[in-house]
Every structure is written in C-alpha cells, then in structure tokens.
Amino acid sequence: MSDERYFSVVEPRPDAAVALRPVTQGRVRGGFWGARQRVNREVTIPLGGERVGGSGAFDNLRLAGRGAGGGHEHRGKVFADSDVYKWLEALAWERGRAGGDDLARSYEEASELVAAAQCDDGYLHTHTQLTGRARYSDLASSHELYCAGHLMQAAVAGRRATGDDTLLRVAARFADHLVKDLPPDALDGHPEVELGLAELYRETGVRSYLDLAARMVATRGRSLIQLKGHHGPGYRQDAVPVREATTVEGHAVRAMYLAAGATDVAAETPDPELLAALERQWRDMVATKTYLTGGLGSNWYGEAFGGHLELAPDTAYCETCAAIGSVQWSWRMLLATGAAEYADLMERTLHNAVLPGVSLGGDRFFYVNALRVRAGADPDDLRSPARGRQDWYGTACCPPNVMRLLSSLDHYLATQDTDGVQLHLYAPGTIRAGSVLLEVETDYPWSGRIEIVVRETPDRAWTLSARIPAWADTAEVSLAGAALSSGVGAAGSSGAGAAGVGDRPVEPGYHRIRRTWRPGDRVVLDLGIRPRLTAAVPRLDVARGQVAVERGPLVYCLEQADHPGAVIDDLCVAGADLRDGAPITGLPAEVVPVLARGRVHVHGEDDGGFPYRSAAPREPEHAGPADLTFVPYYAWANRGPGAMTVWAPMHEE
Amino acid sequence: MSDERYFSVVEPRPDAAVALRPVTQGRVRGGFWGARQRVNREVTIPLGGERVGGSGAFDNLRLAGRGAGGGHEHRGKVFADSDVYKWLEALAWERGRAGGDDLARSYEEASELVAAAQCDDGYLHTHTQLTGRARYSDLASSHELYCAGHLMQAAVAGRRATGDDTLLRVAARFADHLVKDLPPDALDGHPEVELGLAELYRETGVRSYLDLAARMVATRGRSLIQLKGHHGPGYRQDAVPVREATTVEGHAVRAMYLAAGATDVAAETPDPELLAALERQWRDMVATKTYLTGGLGSNWYGEAFGGHLELAPDTAYCETCAAIGSVQWSWRMLLATGAAEYADLMERTLHNAVLPGVSLGGDRFFYVNALRVRAGADPDDLRSPARGRQDWYGTACCPPNVMRLLSSLDHYLATQDTDGVQLHLYAPGTIRAGSVLLEVETDYPWSGRIEIVVRETPDRAWTLSARIPAWADTAEVSLAGAALSSGVGAAGSSGAGAAGVGDRPVEPGYHRIRRTWRPGDRVVLDLGIRPRLTAAVPRLDVARGQVAVERGPLVYCLEQADHPGAVIDDLCVAGADLRDGAPITGLPAEVVPVLARGRVHVHGEDDGGFPYRSAAPREPEHAGPADLTFVPYYAWANRGPGAMTVWAPMHEE
C-alpha cells in the first residue's frame, strides 16, 4: 500500500475547527459504486472530452491562448470554461484513483490549453477575453468567478491526485490577481469561487485566498448584486447575509455551492457563529425543501428552491448539479460537526438524486430529476424527463459534475479523528487512516450485511464507528461472529454480549466500538435491508394519501416499462407486504426490484371531462388486483422514456 | 332605449359559421359585477393611465412621434406599446358602456400619440423604431405583431363603442402594411395579431386582414420561429400545427390568444375542420390542464402549461392574462358551437381566475394566482403571491387586461340566434336582442335566484334559453310564479306543469322555454346555491385526500386572516355539513363566507426533521374541533398577505 498516493477532495488545514478529518485514503473496489466508477472512467469521462470539445470550449481556450482580444466569437455559454475545468477535475481524481496513462495525455493537453489562455496578470475567462466585455462589469451573469472557482478545484485535484502543478500555477496566479485587483464588493451571481479559494488556501497555505473567500461570504446578502429579469435578490443568495439566514433560497445549485464554501470558511477561519447559521439552514432545508430522493429545487423557474414544503413531484426540478452541491455541503458539515445526519443525507442524495443523473451505460444524462413523469408530460424542453435521457445539454453543467463526483467518491467513505475511524458510506474496498487499514466487504445496498476487517492496527485502543442509517429499523452488530448488539431505537433488544463491548442497542447514528484491535478482527454489521413503505408528514399536501417504496438507501419507483398497458397513475399500493423480486430483463442482474400487491383505479367518473367532481363518493372504485414492480429510482429511464412515479396512492384492502 | 349604442367585443360577419351571435346589447346594472365595473371605472382605469405613463410607454410614443430613429432609449419592455393599447381598449368599452367625458380626454390624447408615432408606411412599434433594430428581424421576442394585435383590438373597440375612428385608421394602415410587406412565413413569438386582424376584418370588411390571420394560423406549428433559451418550439405554439394539435401547450397566454384567433378564423373563413381541432384542444385543456379555479399554467418556467394533470396548487402560475385569454377563447367557441360547456368554463374562470387578479379596491394586482400559499412561501419574485398584491408590475400585461375585460363584460352575458335569446352569465341588467328586451334581477352569485322579465317582445313564439351551470345539483324554473320544471339530472323530479312548458327536468346545459311571450312575463330560475365539497379525480395526485369548498360559481379558500394562530396547512375538513356564515369584517358585507367543522392536525411525528417517515401509522392524530371559515378565492389577500389554501385535507369523523 505504501506506493499509493494519499489525498482527498477536501483537506482541512491542521488548525481548522473540524470534528472529523479525511482518512488518508478511502478506496472503492468493485460493488455498487465500483461499477459506476468503472463506467464513469471507461465511458463517461472520454465521452465528456468529446462533448466538451464539440461545444467549442477548447476552441475558446485556443483562441484566447493566441491572444485574441475583443470582438471574437465565443462558442457556447458564458460559463463554457467551467465545463472544461470540471472535466479536468474528474480526470485528475480518476488518475489518482486508478492511474492510467490513457487519461494523462487528455489531462495534460487540456491543462496546457488552459495555461496558455491565461492573461499576463492572471485573469482567465474566455468569454470576457474573446468578446472584449470589461472584466467584472456584469458579474450578476458573467460567471467569471464561478469559472475561476472550478479552475481552482480542478487545480487542487491535479496537484493532490497526480502531483501535476500545471493548473495549480494557473489557479494561484488567478487567485493572486483576484486578491489584488477584484473590487471590494464584487460578488459573482453564481457562487462557487468561495469553495475554490478555500481549497486553494488549504493546498497552498496562502491565507489571503481564505480571506477573500471569507470576505465574499460576509459581503453576500446585502443586495449588492445587480438584479436581472424578474428574479429578486434571493435568486442569487443576495437577500439575506449567510450569517443571518435561516433557510436556503433561490437557485439551488448556487445555494449549495455558497453554503459549502461558507462551511469551509467557518471551519478554517474558524467561525463557530457562521457554522451555527449553516447548521440552521441545513436543518431547514432538510425539513422543508428536500424531496424524498434528496433532490433539491421545486421550481424550473430560476432552477430554484420553492417555498416551505413546495415539493410537487411532477414539476420538481431536482437538478443533478444541486444534488452534487448538496453532497459537497453535507460532507463539509460532517467534517465540521461529526453528526450522522449529514452522512444520512449524503447517502440518500448520492443514491437517489446524483446517480439518476447518468444512465447505467454512462452515456446519457438527466438534468432534471422529477419524482413523477406522466404519459402526457410536456416534453417541449430538452431538460424535460419526459423526453428521456439526453446525450448532452446546451448548458452542460451536470454531466461533468457527475464525472468529478464519481471519480472522487472514494474520498467520502470514511473519516478519522484522534479517537479512531468513522465509516459513513458502505462500499467494498479499503480505508487507510494512518496506521489503521480496514477492509470492507459488502454487497451494499442490495444487501445490508457489511463486514469490516481490521487489516492493520496500532497496538492501542481506538474506536471504530460505523454509521447506522436513520432509515434502518433493525440493525445487528457482531464481532468475530459473536453478537455485540442488536435492535434499533425503541426495539432496542440487545444481542448477546460480545468481546469488548457491553450490551446496548444499535441505534441510528454511529455505533461505536472501542477496543484494542488485532489484525483479522472482523465487525459484521447487518442493517437488515428489506423493502419498506414511506409516507410524508401530513403538511406535505402533494403526497397526501400516497406512499413511496424504499429499500435500504434506495428510493424506488413505478416505471412504465414494467407495467405495459397500465396507466402508472392509476396504480395503487394495496398493502404493506412488499418483497424482493427476481432480476429484470434490461436492468443489470444485481438490481433487486420490489414487488407489491396493488390495485388499479377504475375511473368510473373520469369521462375525460373537468377533473373536479362532487366530493361524494370520494373513494375510487377498484378493479381486480395488479402486480406492482418497483425499481430503484436511479435506474429508471434506462429502458427508454416513459411514465414513472415515486409516490403511489395507498389503498389497504 | 333607442339612443343607446349597440356593440360587442366580438361581432361575427353575417356570413360567419356561428351558432350564436352577440345580442344587440347586454348591460350590467349593479350587483356583483356592477360593483367590480364601478371600481374598474373609478379607480383602476384612471390608475392604469398613471402607471402606464409612469412606465414610459407614452414617452416612447412621443419620441417616435417626433420621428426619432435608431439609437434612442426605449423605456420599459419591448411590448410597452401593448399596455397603452389595452388601456385604450378599456377606455373605449367603458365610454361606450357608461359614457363619460372624463374618460374622453384621456382616450383622445393617447390615441393622438399613437397616431403620431405611426411610420409613413403604416408600421408602428416604438421599441423597434427607437432602437433602430430591423423590423421583423427578431419576431421570436420582439412582440411587434403582438402589439399590432392589441392596437387592432383597441381600434375596433374605439370605433364600435364611441364611433371614434382615430385608432381604426392607424390600425387599418398598419394592417395594410402587414398584408403588403410582412414576409410570408413571419410569425410573432407571441400570438395576438390573429385576433386583432380577424376583428379588424369584421369591422372593416377588408378580407385580406382575415386572410393574413388565416395564413398565420396555418403557418404556425412548423418550427419556423427561432428558438431562444431552453424553450422548445412548443413554448411559442410552434411545434404542432393548430389543425393537428390535440392539446394546448407552452406559454399559456400565447396559447389562449392563438386559440381565440384561430377560432375567429375558423368561424369566418369558415373552416369546420379547424373548429373541430380547436374543440378537441379545448376539451383536453379542460380535462387535463385546468385548475379548479379555471386558472391555466402550472409552471412559472415559461409561464406555461405543464403536462397532463400537472396541477400542483402551490407552484401554480395561473397568470391573470391566461385566464382572460381563456375567457376570450371560450366565448368564441360558444358563439361557434352554442355548447354550454364553454359558458360554464367562462363563468368559472371569470369568478375565480380573472377576478382574483385585481383587489377589491381596484388598485392592487396579482399576476400569479396560486391555489396554495404557505407561511414560508418564497417571496423572492415580485410576482409571488406570498408577497401579496402589488401596485403594478414591470411586465404590466395583466392589470390593463383586467381593465378591458371588466369594461366589456356586458358583451358576454347573452347571445341570440334565429330562434331566440340565450342567457349565459347572470347579472342584474338588461339584454336587448332585436325587438326583445329582457330585464334580469338577481343577487347572483350570492343567491341562486334569477328573475328574467320580458319587457319587450315581438308577437310570435321564440325561445328563451337560460344556462343551468354544470355545478348546479338542484335547479327550479317557474314562470309568473308557477313551477315550470325542477330538479337536475338524476334528481329529475319535475315540478308542477306550468304555462307554455311541459313537465321535464331542469338539467345542466340550457333550459329552453319556447312560447309567445308577453311583456311582463317573468321567468324565475332558482339554482339552489349552497356550499358544497369538491374533490379531484384520483389521477390528480396532488389533490388526493383533499377537498375544496365551492358555492355557486365561486371557489372558496381558507385564508390566514380568518384563522389567527393556526397553520393553514394543519386544518382539515371534518364533515360535509357546510353552512353560510355572517359577513366578515374587512370584506364587503355582501360576501358570504362558508363555515365548516374542522380538525387541526397534530404533528406528533413532525419534529421539524426530514418530512418522510415510515408509512405506519399513516393517519395524523387530531386535536379538538376547529371552526373553519372559507372565503371566496377571488377576495383573498385583501386583508394583507398571508397563507391561503383552496385544497384542504378531508377527515370525516
């Protein structure tokens, strides 16, 4: 193991105020996420290079690199540079994760293009350079600093993962320029540079980068950004200072990037008051603005969070990028606080809001991840899920964002502190934390059995903490085959006492085992994964009378492909006796469907007229039973477009 | 009566293929709509002149009138001219309706400004003229023809209502220019000119205006309009030819104006195949894309219809202009076909989707008419109903649209055909149809009793048709006090036989009485208005388990102002025993609230965490009873902003 590089996507400085720190190295080997990473490497990232190139983003850099000034054509969106940077970040993490000379040439060529395009004073934004628009004259829309932030993240990835400093030099020069020349109140309409500056500080130790990020976080929320269109200042997170905000609002991706960057600032400066404000905002987001999938953003208009509990399933936006931003924010909150709730949301979001953004084959994408798509949904917009997955998008933020997340997923598995190691996400592979080496064996999330084998350990007591997800209603932990503890929450019956741990229930949160470990020690965690029904709280009006199916961390859905001839919205769940089904043709063999007894609504009254009638009789009639097949939501629309729903009416017999 | 002018907002030519024609004159005198018209005249229209002026729209015309060419500043939106035209149309109808020298000067001054701004060749669009952009070079966005259409409608109103030809000459010159010089495939991104051209044809008899409108309707739907932004061609109704479309799609206002204009073309050319296509689209709209209020447009993004049954209450857009467009379309379909369903939707839409767009005081407006606004709704956008009503809007299409509709409402009361007179909307006033003069006395919609008195009649048999709304579950008709008929539909018990009419049930649709009428004959219609509960069909997922309260044609809502201390979304309806309440402080004395027994949800499980839980136990707990007060939806937000919902959970005890 000694020849492997150690790095992580977020690396707090030694003096940062964090409860947990990244492990030396997490490594996924195979299993659920390993399969996604293999496709990401073999299909998605190479395709990303082609598509980013086809959009003209490399040409923009080439033209700028030749010193072209104003009056030139810039291809693609004003933020086209950021597609290149996110793709480069994915390449960097991927090279660090699994090596690969095949990726090196692409990385180096693109990095050189970026370096050559940079202005002498460090500035870099091809749209501004080529069109000749004055720098920072339209920050509400120009995405100049947004692109800078992605450059910085890619640069840090390059340095950490491969030791390649090409981009880091570019990013540092740009950051130096910003520190020196950016007007004091300048804020980008799209947050992101805060994240980049904070990580560049972490990598370089140049404090002025952190100070600039902190200044931006402190300046925001005072309506200093120019308003455009109908949007108020909340759209750009400029209505309420971060320190005073009690919720998240506006454009969901912007909100997540800002919150993640602010969390970095809170950790590094340190600033406990700012952290407390972010905790408050995170909790409000989870309680009032998060879909069951972890998806964020109720409104196509402004790609935005709606208001409190505005969570309609069909008109949901749930942009893939917002989910990725949510993972980034929650990870930073987890590091700062050590609270399991952040890891719970990360797990939910990764499986059900990020992963749906890319097809199983890795070559088609979703921008919008609605929880219901009817036959008859409006497919007019390219982003409409009713159109099915698309090869690429004119605004191509999501695909390379998925690439960089999947290639850095290993970094999110576990953390360490002075007392031990904490496992947050379960995947087969290894966790190296200083002198501790753990090996994880599991078929999670299909199975709830997770074996954690201690391969290397110091000769002293330390604590192994394993997350018991909030969704787990039973859990058992045993050590070397003897039950350590079992049950969750109120169930709470303890298992047989086992070596090193007294009798106590296994409860959601972290199950902690402190002992002097020996190589070969084996902790077996059984989360008892089985299908379950979930309902929304009564205030969530749009899900009233309806249930969803979940299994472990996965949210399921009813998909048209499994119910030929049926109208998906006419199917209801007739009872709670769910069971695992056999593999489904057209989906990978490991995907476990969930079967349920159902009923089909008969629309005796539904003659195609005005869809509102006298409230009596209110109960729909039923036809004979229907067999319902639920598939994981992330896997939907891999058998062509069609109707789909996460929520289904519940009618017990 | 002989000195009153006769006119109508839509006047089919003698050879038009229509089932019904406007009456010679309908006239509202007092009552529910009379009060709204008085406020419109005394408050809204004068205020409209100030606000339109303040937006710079008159200045644009002045500057263009001085011959200013390219390179000048144009104030406001590209469609600012249309605000002037809609306001002028309101002034014209209002002068025709109720006279008024006070309005004449405003009308004449603004008309002169418009006339002076016109180019020598007839073209007129101040944004294009002042900025110097090439005519018709950006029709996807420029609204050049959209403005032309509103000019034509205003011009026709001026001629018909007051005999003033100033605008008609301008409009005709513009139309002549379009007939001669508009490129063959040119289509405006925003339909409206079709309506204007058709009515200008009707007023002038110049066939080429109708031919141009027909050409535009035939050309549309072939993706000839340039795409902009993410929107597909459906946004601008350019994806499917009108003749082939099976539903309405895209921007709801654009869709309604196009459909109304296409209906005019179908009636005048005549074109039964086109009319059949429009009937199909209208039925699909009613069955799958219409809110209970009659509101249209589920999606803020693109101000658009969503897909099939995408009708979330909280994120509803329901633009006031879309409702007005719906009334315009339904009226034209009613004239073309004579079918009561069109009048039913008009009534619903007028009361519950148009009227909410203006405050009771006439000086504040809603652009967006959502069916649910929570405490915690996102107020970032000026249009958000969570902000309450606004003085005006940057895009000020809605307020002057309400003005012109209210000032022309008299035209929509009744129609005539060779066999008699049809009453569609009920308001106190008079109906003149040739030699027939009817007087209507009613307190509708507060009371369901409507008295129709024959004041003048020819000495021959003719048929008086009175609409029995689809919502009426009981209805009785009597003549000179003797029951003619009673009951509705299945209830169907006939009343005592009465003069001139045999025993037959009163059913939804038109109740027709044919006889030789005598002056003084009096038909009394009793629609038996009482509060009722309404539910959605099961497929409409977002309203599952919920009910709405209606009373006569009015949709009601729960408003925060009547439930201090309660969270509106926690209230549920506990039974079907609704009753009329006493007048409410802060609302006009005639407004009848509806009282219901309710319950308050207790959120034992709702600790502010993730709002999704195990599906068992699914039933919310209840606290003691709560008294619910429902108020008419159109009257909400007249006591300040606050939470509101049309749908409430139903939990019978």
Interval A36-50 mean pLDDT:
97
| pLDDT band, very low/low/confident/very high, at A495 (cuts 50, 70, 90) | very low
Eight-state DSSP code of residue A251: B
Interval B557-578 mean pLDDT:
93
Same domain, B76 and B197: yes
Please identify which of the residues B397, B398, B557, B572 carries the catalytic annotation.
B397
Judged by a CB distance cut-off of 8 A, whether residue A273 touches chain B is no
Same domain, B402 and B423: no
Q: Which of B390, B412, B434 is where one domain is finished?
A: B412
In a domain, A119, yes or no: yes
Judged by a CB distance cut-off of 8 A, whether residue A298 touches chain B is yes
Instruction: Give the per-residue pLDDT at B269.
Output: 97
Instruction: Give the per-residue pLDDT at B489.
Output: 40
Provide the pairing of β-strand B449-456 with B436-442.
antiparallel
Report the distance separating Cα A307 and Cα A289, nearest Å: 7
Judged by a CB distance cut-off of 8 A, whether residue B289 touches chain A is no
The CA distances from residue A174 to A88, A145, A151, B4, in Å, are 17, 10, 9, 77
Q: Is the pLDDT higher at A575 or at A131?
A: A131
Interval A110-123 mean pLDDT:
98
Over pLDDT 70: what percentage of chain A? 93
CB pairs under 8 A between A and B: 271
Eight-state DSSP code of residue A564: T
Look at A103-112, B3-12, B189-198, B522-531 and tell me which has the smallest mean pLDDT.
Answer: B3-12
Q: Note the pLDDT tens digit of each residue in B448-483.
A: 999 999 999 999 999 999 999 999 988 999 997 655
Interval A196-219 mean pLDDT:
98
Q: CATH number, domain at B189?
A: 1.50.10
Instruction: Give the per-residue pLDDT at B377.
Output: 76
Report the distance separating Cα A34 and Cα A51, nearest Å: 24
Provide the pairing of β-strand B449-456 with B522-526.
antiparallel
Q: Note the pLDDT tens digit of each residue in A379-418.
A: 788 899 999 999 999 999 999 999 999 999 999 999 999 9
Interval B621-632 mean pLDDT:
85
In a domain, B3, yes or no: no
The H or E element containing residue B320 is helix B320-337
Q: Is the pLDDT higher at A501 or at A258?
A: A258
Report the distance separating Cα B303 and Cα A46, nearest Å: 38
Tell me, yes or no, if B397 is annotated catalytic.
yes
Judged by a CB distance cut-off of 8 A, whether residue A531 touches chain B is no
Handedness of CA B243, B245, B246, B251 (dihedral sign): negative
Domain of residue A446 covers: 414-526
Report the distance separating Cα A299 and Cα A419, nearest Å: 44
pLDDT at A486 over 70: no
Instruction: Give the per-residue pLDDT at A482.
Output: 59
Strand, coil or helix: what is A609? coil
Q: Note the pLDDT tens digit of each residue in B5-60.
A: 578 999 999 999 999 999 999 999 999 999 999 999 999 999 999 999 999 999 99
Name chain A contacts of B288, Cβ cutoff 8 Å.
376, 611
Instruction: Give the per-residue pLDDT at B506.
Output: 79
- Among candidates B249, B287, B614 on the partner chain, residue whose Cβ is nearest the Cβ of A534: B614
Same domain, A428 and A397: no
Strand, coil or helix: what is B597? strand
Report the distance separating Cα A363 and Cα A39, nearest Å: 9
Instruction: Give the per-residue pLDDT at A608.
Output: 75
Same domain, B57 and B152: yes
Phi, psi of B484 (to 5 degrees): -90, -40
pLDDT at A503 over 90: no
Report the distance separating Cα B317 and Cα A255, nearest Å: 23
pTM for the full model? Answer: 0.92
pLDDT at A505 over 80: no
Q: Which of A505, A526, A547 is where one domain is finished?
A: A526
Instruction: Give the per-residue pLDDT at B622.
Output: 59
**CA torsion angle A97 A100 A102 A108 (round to 10):** 70
In a domain, B13, yes or no: no
Look at A227-241, A271-285, A557-571, B502-516 and tell me which has the smallest mean pLDDT.
Answer: B502-516
Same domain, A100 and A122: yes
In a domain, B15, yes or no: no
In total, how many domains does chain B have? Answer: 3
Strand, coil or helix: what is B172? helix
In whole numbers, what is the pLDDT of chain B averaged over residues?
92
| pLDDT band, very low/low/confident/very high, at A1 (cuts 50, 70, 90) | very low
Nearest chain B CA: its distance from A537 CA (Å):
5
Strand, coil or helix: what is B593? coil
Name chain B contacts of A286, Cβ cutoff 8 Å.
609-610
Instruction: Give the per-residue pLDDT at A496.
Output: 31
Closest of B232, B186, B194 to residue B211, by C-alpha: B194
Q: Amino acid identity of A507?
A: E
pLDDT at B490 over 50: no
Interval B92-107 mean pLDDT:
90
Q: Note the pLDDT tens digit of each residue in B362-395.
A: 999 999 999 999 887 777 888 999 999 999 999 9
Q: Is the pLDDT higher at B67 or at B329?
A: B329
What is the maximum span of chain B, computed from C-alpha positions, in angstroms? 76
Angle (CA) A463 A466 A470, round 5°: 140
Instruction: Give the per-residue pLDDT at B417.
Output: 97
Structure tokens at B400: 């002057």
Closest of B90, B112, B97, B187 to residue B142, by C-alpha: B187
pLDDT at B502 over 70: no
Q: CATH number, domain at A510?
A: 2.60.40
- Among candidates B378, B567, B613 on the partner chain, residue whose Cβ is nearest the Cβ of A305: B378
| Contact of A120 with A157, CB cutoff 8 Å | no
Name chain B contacts of A377, Cβ cutoff 8 Å.
306-308, 310
Same domain, A125 and A265: yes
Same domain, A312 and A447: no
Tell me, yes or no, if B303 is annotated catalytic.
yes
Enumerate residues 6+ apart whose C-beta is below 8 A from B501: B479, B484, B485, B513, B515
In whole numbers, what is the pLDDT of chain A averaged over residues?
92
Judged by a CB distance cut-off of 8 A, whether residue A508 touches chain B is no
Interval A554-578 mean pLDDT:
93
Angle (CA) A326 A329 A334, round 5°: 120
The CA distances from residue A629 to A591, A595, B541, B623, in Å, are 12, 5, 19, 38
Same domain, A346 and A491: no
Q: Which residue on chain B is closest to A239 by alpha carbon?
A: B380
Q: Is the pLDDT higher at B262 or at A612?
A: B262
Instruction: Give the per-residue pLDDT at A500.
Output: 33
Angle (CA) B483 B486 B487, round 5°: 165
Instruction: Give the per-residue pLDDT at A489.
Output: 41
Instruction: Give the per-residue pLDDT at A377.
Output: 76
Same domain, A270 and A373: yes
Same domain, B484 and B371: no
Q: Amino acid identity of A612?
A: Y
Instruction: Give the per-residue pLDDT at B481.
Output: 61
CB contact under 8 A, B307 and A616: no
Structure tokens at A229: 């269109």
Instruction: Give the per-residue pLDDT at A602.
Output: 65
Structure tokens at B593: 């609230």
The CA distances from residue A553 to A347, A348, A351, A372, B417, in Å, are 7, 6, 7, 19, 66
| pLDDT band, very low/low/confident/very high, at A621 (cuts 50, 70, 90) | low
In a domain, A635, yes or no: yes
For residue A538, whether the previous peptide bond is cis, meaning omega lies within 30 degrees of 0, is no
Enumerate residues 6+ apart whose C-beta is below 8 A from B58: B52, B84, B110, B113
Q: Which of B484, B505, B526 is where one domain is finished?
A: B526
pLDDT at B150 over 60: yes
Judged by a CB distance cut-off of 8 A, whether residue A603 touches chain B is yes
In a domain, A284, yes or no: yes
Which residue is it, tokens 């809007």?
Answer: B393
- Among candidates B310, B378, B609 on the partner chain, residue whose Cβ is nearest the Cβ of A314: B310
For residue B445, whether the previous peptide bond is cis, meaning omega lies within 30 degrees of 0, is yes
Strand, coil or helix: what is B533? strand
Q: Note the pLDDT tens digit of each residue in B162-177.
A: 999 999 999 999 999 9
Report chain A's C-alpha Rg in angstroms: 25
Which residue is it, tokens 């998925």?
Answer: A402
Same domain, A337 and A349: yes
Q: Note the pLDDT tens digit of each residue in A304-322.
A: 998 889 999 999 999 999 9
CB contact under 8 A, B535 and A615: yes
ipTM of the complex: 0.88
Q: Note the pLDDT tens digit of each residue in A239-255.
A: 999 999 999 999 999 99
Name chain A contacts of B606, Cβ cutoff 8 Å.
537-539
In a domain, B466, yes or no: yes
Report chain B's C-alpha Rg in angstroms: 25
Interface test with A, best of B283, B381, B652 (most A CBs within 10 A): B381
| Contact of A75 with A56, CB cutoff 8 Å | yes
Judged by a CB distance cut-off of 8 A, whether residue B474 touches chain A is no
Nearest chain A CA: its distance from B177 CA (Å):
33
Same domain, A164 and A258: yes
Provide the pairing of β-strand A461-468 with A420-423.
parallel
CB contact under 8 A, B288 and A611: yes
In a domain, B2, yes or no: no
